[in-house]
């Protein structure tokens, strides 16, 4: 039977650091430094509000999403690789972006030679994405007041929103689950398995919990640190910090698994050419033999 | 019979005989195949190109292990009818390359009765022809497919990497594919994550990205029925590197 353990929820990882950007968002600082020192030649990400994808070439233009809004990062992938011929591209987005990107890299469908064009993949821990209107409805549902969401973060295993009014609210996963994109309700990869680094936004704007998954991720951080030693401060994450994250993921993934089981039992259709991974998961859920593998290209 | 059934894997002389057959198409798929450049060097010692209307001088169709077929078959063209009969006899395995051969492609929009060949009126993809259907093992989507996809496919074929080849095998059972599939198969069934991969895969910008609702937007007038969008979608078949459950 599948155990909702760290391996399943968070995936394989080498290290977890709390990174302090000293007044600046550390992810933004990492990308700014990478562009400045030529470690990457472009950054594919989304606007700050998460509503439209951005292709960034200059260090001073770097912006990263701070809301779990909808994305479409891969819509600019072909432009980046085939039009602008970027060969050291960094990509930042939620896990589903990397599902599309990794598939493009593995099979070669969609965008030519993507396999060799991407230098770094950073995802953020995604509790499920929402549109602007879904955000408004969710906030009304929780607080009874109408307000926009300016950013999201995790604290002590809970999801929080900072509203545009400055107020901070805790979002219960059961409420959140009702408003997310419908595909996010069947997602089992909230933590961005298959990327080099996973960023978890924390309450302090200038701090993130960074989960390092690959050798490439670790060496990139080392290079960034070497190029500008005083910009970022790394501290190994406490066991408690990682465990609180796992407890959130467990709570959310249980809701997702319930939806998957319901969907399979109701016999809802799946896309053609699909190897029916939901049904496979359904079978696995009651099986004792588990064989899961991950790969980063 | 699979192309390696009677051959030893240790046989140093083994060379996979491949041919490239052209039916009704723009030849873009064949050009994409030859666009592999230096990557092709890696596989040249294991592959022998025995027939291609562009690169070989042969008129008759030799026996071959794998026939890559581009283009849709024109029912009124006697040359095509002859070629498909020959293909059935001479090829051990057929791979439909590109949208026209796999799903009809841009030929789905053809009404015929036009110059310079008004007698050419009806076109069917090779996957719909019963004579060769048992031998059509794989269909590769795209208009044209990317050279990187064709290179990876050829490598997978040489290594018999079933994990890689399986989705392309599934596609042979589907004789129709268009941008509408993204809506019918993914969006309507509640699987669209709004990642935008379909819009980047579309060669004609028939699929764009609607930022307001974070979903693809489809313009049927621009679609060439190549199937790239659904094939690229991470929800259509196994996206790497999702954990695989076996």
String of DSSP letters for chain A: ----SHHHHT---SEEEEEE-TTS-HHHHHHHHHHHTTS-SEEEEE-TTSSSEEEE-SGGG-----S-B---GGGGHHIIIIIS--SSEEEEE-HHHHHHHHHHHHH--SSTTGGGTEEEEEEE--S--B-HHHHHHHHHHHHSS---EEEEEEETTEEEEEETTS-EEEE-HHHHHHHS-GGGGG-S-TT-TTSSEEEEEBSSTTEEEEEE-SHHHHHHHHHHHHH-TTT-EEEEPPHHHHHHHHHHHHHHHHHHHHHHHHHHHHT----TT---HHHHHHHHHT-S---------
Which residue range is the domain that position B106 belongs to? Answer: 16-171
Interchain pair A268, B189: CB under 8 A = yes
What is the per-residue pLDDT for A291? 58
Same domain for B42 and B149 = yes
For residue B48, give how far its alpha carbon lies from the nearest alpha carbon of chain A (Å).
23
For tokens 């001088």, the residue is B57
Q: Taking phi first (over 0 means left), then psi (-120 to 50 degrees means alpha), and beta for anything else, what does residue B228 get?
A: alpha
Q: Is there a contact between B231 and B143 (Cβ–Cβ < 8 Å)?
A: no
Interchain pair B197, A77: CB under 8 A = yes
Q: Say how far apart CA B196 and CA B229 lie, in whole Å.
A: 10
- Of B205, B226, B225, which Cα lies nearest the Cα of B217? B205
What is the per-residue pLDDT for A297? 46
Q: What angle do CA B181, B32, B43 make, to 5 degrees?
A: 115
What is the per-residue pLDDT for B241? 45
Same domain for B94 and B38 = yes
For residue B95, give how far its alpha carbon lies from the nearest alpha carbon of chain A (Å).
16
Angle of the B147-159 helix axis to the A95-107 helix axis, nearest 10: 70
- The total number of structural domains in chain B stands at 2
What is the per-residue pLDDT for A276? 76
All residues of chain B having their beta carbon less than 8 Å from the beta carbon of residue A291 are 244-246
- Is the Cβ of A190 closer than 8 Å to some Cβ of chain B? no
Longest dimension (CA), chain A: 56
Interchain pair B167, A273: CB under 8 A = yes
Q: Say how far apart CA A278 and CA A291 lie, in whole Å.
A: 16
Interchain pair B196, A76: CB under 8 A = yes
Interchain pair B195, A273: CB under 8 A = no
Same domain for B42 and B126 = yes
CB count in 10 Å sphere of residue B188: 12
What is the per-residue pLDDT for A170? 95
Torsions phi, psi of B212, nearest 5? -65, -45
For residue B57, give how far its alpha carbon lies from the nearest alpha carbon of chain A (Å).
30
What is the per-residue pLDDT for B243? 46
- Is the Cβ of B209 closer than 8 Å to some Cβ of chain A? yes
Same domain for B73 and B138 = yes
Interchain pair B239, A51: CB under 8 A = no
Q: Is there a contact between B151 and A108 (Cβ–Cβ < 8 Å)?
A: yes
What is the per-residue pLDDT for B11? 57
What is the per-residue pLDDT for A136? 92
- pLDDT of B211 > 60? The answer is yes
- Is the Cβ of A74 closer than 8 Å to some Cβ of chain B? yes
Model confidence at B212, in pLDDT bands (50, 70, 90)?
A: confident
For tokens 């060799």, the residue is A116
Strands A53-56 and A42-46 turn out to be antiparallel
Long-range interactions of A20-25: CB distance < 8 A, separation 24+: A20/A206, A20/A207, A20/A232, A20/A233, A20/A234, A20/A235, A21/A206, A21/A207, A21/A208, A21/A231, A21/A232, A22/A206, A22/A231, A22/A232, A22/A233, A23/A206, A24/A206, A24/A231, A25/A64, A25/A66, A25/A205, A25/A206, A25/A208
Kindly state whether residue B240 falls inside one of the protein's structural domains. Answer: no
For chain B, percent of residues with pLDDT exceeding 70: 91
Q: What is the interface size between A and B, counted as CB pairs within 8 Å?
A: 207
Same domain for B97 and B46 = yes
Nearest CB to A292: which of B189, B239, B243? B243
Same domain for B144 and B50 = yes
Q: Say how far apart CA B191 and CA B183 lie, in whole Å.
A: 10
Same domain for B57 and B31 = yes
What is the per-residue pLDDT for B246? 32
- Residue in chain B closest to A296 (alpha carbons) equals B241
B120, B138, B171: which is the final residue of a domain? Answer: B171
Kindly state whether residue B245 falls inside one of the protein's structural domains. Answer: no
- pLDDT of B162 > 90? The answer is no
- Is the Cβ of B28 closer than 8 Å to some Cβ of chain A? no
All residues of chain A having their beta carbon less than 8 Å from the beta carbon of residue B242 are 99, 189, 193-194, 277
Kindly state whether residue B11 falls inside one of the protein's structural domains. Answer: no
pLDDT (mean) for B149-159: 90
Kindly state whether residue B198 falls inside one of the protein's structural domains. Answer: yes
- Is the Cβ of B8 closer than 8 Å to some Cβ of chain A? no
Same domain for B158 and B58 = yes
Interchain pair B151, A194: CB under 8 A = no
Interchain pair A270, B189: CB under 8 A = yes
- Is the Cβ of B112 closer than 8 Å to some Cβ of chain A? no
Cis geometry, peptide bond prior to residue A134 (ω within 30 degrees of 0): no
Q: Say how far apart CA B172 and CA B125 lie, in whole Å.
A: 10
Kindly state whether residue B5 falls inside one of the protein's structural domains. Answer: no
For residue A229, give how far its alpha carbon lies from the nearest alpha carbon of chain B (Å).
33
Interchain pair B195, A131: CB under 8 A = no
Please report the residues numbered 155 through 184 in chain A whose beta carbons come closer than 8 angstroms to any beta carbon of chain B: 181-184
Nearest CB to B195: which of A100, A270, A272? A100
Q: Is there a contact between B177 and B141 (Cβ–Cβ < 8 Å)?
A: yes
Model confidence at B35, in pLDDT bands (50, 70, 90)?
A: confident
* Cα separation values, A294 from A10, A14, B182, B244, Å: 12, 14, 27, 8
For testing contact with chain B, the best of A46, A78, A108, A282 (most B CBs within 10 A): A108
Convert the pLDDT of each residue in B52-104 to its tens digit.
988 888 888 999 999 999 999 999 999 999 999 999 999 999 999 999 999 99
Kindly state whether residue B7 falls inside one of the protein's structural domains. Answer: no
What is the per-residue pLDDT for B1? 45
Q: Say how far apart CA A101 and CA A292 lie, in whole Å.
A: 20
Kindly state whether residue B22 falls inside one of the protein's structural domains. Answer: yes
B191 SS3 class: coil
Give domain limits for chain A: 15-125+192-237
Model confidence at B3, in pLDDT bands (50, 70, 90)?
A: low
Model confidence at B5, in pLDDT bands (50, 70, 90)?
A: low
Tokens of B210: 């609607």
- Is the Cβ of B163 closer than 8 Å to some Cβ of chain A? no
CATH code for the domain of B110 = 3.40.50.700
Same domain for B91 and B110 = yes
Kindly state whether residue B238 falls inside one of the protein's structural domains. Answer: no
Least confident of A93-107, B7-21, B158-172: B7-21
Query: What ipTM, to 2 d.p.?
Result: 0.89
Angle of the A239-266 helix axis to the A277-285 helix axis, nearest 10: 110
Walk along chain A (297 residues) and give the pLDDT tens digit of each residue: 567 888 888 888 999 999 999 889 999 999 999 999 999 999 999 888 878 899 999 999 999 999 888 778 999 999 999 899 999 999 999 988 998 898 888 888 888 878 889 999 999 999 999 988 899 999 999 999 999 999 999 999 999 999 999 999 999 999 899 999 999 999 888 998 889 999 999 999 999 999 999 999 999 999 999 998 989 999 999 999 999 999 999 999 999 999 999 999 999 988 888 777 788 778 877 776 655 555 554
Same domain for B220 and B141 = no
Interchain pair B200, A75: CB under 8 A = yes
- Is the Cβ of B38 closer than 8 Å to some Cβ of chain A? no
Model confidence at B244, in pLDDT bands (50, 70, 90)?
A: very low
């Amino acid at each position: 039977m599948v155990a909702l353990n760290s391996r399943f929820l968070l995936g394989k990882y080498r290290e977890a650091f709390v990174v302090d950007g000293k007044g600046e968002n550390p992810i933004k600082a990492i990308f700014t430094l990478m562009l400045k020192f030529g470690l990457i030649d472009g950054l594919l990400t989304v606007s700050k509000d998460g509503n439209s994808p951005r292709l960034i070439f200059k260090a001073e233009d770097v912006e990263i999403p701070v809301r779990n809004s909808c994305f479409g990062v891969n819509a600019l992938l072909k432009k980046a690789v085939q039009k602008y011929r970027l060969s050291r591209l960094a990509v930042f987005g939620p896990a589903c972006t990397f599902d599309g990107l990794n598939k493009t890299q593995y099979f070669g469908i969609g965008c030519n030679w993507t396999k060799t064009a991407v230098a770094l993949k950073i995802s953020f821990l995604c509790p499920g994405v929402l549109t602007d209107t879904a955000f408004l409805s969710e906030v009304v549902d929780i607080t009874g007041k109408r307000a926009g969401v300016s950013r999201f973060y995790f604290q002590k295993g809970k999801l929080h929103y900072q509203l545009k009014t400055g107020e901070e609210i805790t979002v219960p996963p059961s409420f959140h689950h009702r408003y997310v994109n419908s595909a996010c309700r069947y997602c089992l990869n909230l933590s961005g398995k298959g990327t080099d680094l996973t960023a978890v936004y924390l309450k302090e704007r200038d701090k993130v919990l960074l989960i390092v998954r690959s050798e490439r991720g670790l060496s990139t951080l080392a290079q960034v640190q070497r190029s500008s030693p005083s910009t970022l401060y790394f501290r190994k994450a406490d066991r408690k910090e990682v465990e609180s994250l796992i407890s959130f993921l467990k709570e959310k993934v249980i809701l997702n698994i319930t939806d998957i089981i319901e969907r399979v039992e109701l016999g809802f259709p799946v896309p053609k050419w699909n190897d029916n991974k939901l049904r496979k998961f359904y079978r696995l859920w009651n099986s004792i033999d588990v064989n899961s593998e991950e790969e980063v290209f | 019979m699979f192309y390696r059934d009677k051959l030893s894997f240790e046989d140093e002389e083994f060379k996979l005989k491949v041919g490239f057959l052209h039916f009704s198409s723009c030849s873009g798929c064949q050009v994409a195949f030859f666009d592999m450049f230096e990557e092709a060097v890696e596989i040249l010692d294991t592959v022998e190109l025995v027939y291609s209307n562009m690169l070989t001088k042969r008129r008759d169709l030799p026996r071959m292990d794998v026939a890559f077929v581009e283009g849709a078959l024109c029912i009124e063209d006697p040359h095509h009818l002859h070629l498909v009969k020959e293909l059935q006899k001479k090829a051990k395995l057929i791979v439909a390359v590109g949208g026209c051969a796999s799903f009809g492609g841009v030929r789905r929009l053809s009404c015929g009765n036009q110059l310079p060949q008004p007698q050419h009126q009806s076109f069917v993809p090779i996957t719909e022809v019963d004579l060769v259907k048992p031998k059509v093992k794989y269909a590769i989507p795209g208009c044209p497919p990317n050279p990187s996809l064709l290179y990876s496919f050829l490598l997978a074929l040489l290594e018999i990497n079933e994990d890689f080849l399986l989705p392309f095998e599934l596609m042979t059972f589907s004789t129709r594919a268009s941008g509408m599939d993204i809506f019918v198969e993914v969006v309507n069934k509640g699987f669209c994550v709004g990642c935008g991969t379909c819009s980047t895969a579309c060669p004609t910008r028939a699929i764009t990205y609607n930022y307001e609702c974070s979903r693809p937007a489809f313009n049927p007038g621009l679609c060439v029925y190549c199937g790239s969008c659904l094939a690229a979608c991470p929800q259509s078949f196994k996206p790497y590197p999702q954990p695989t459950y076996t």
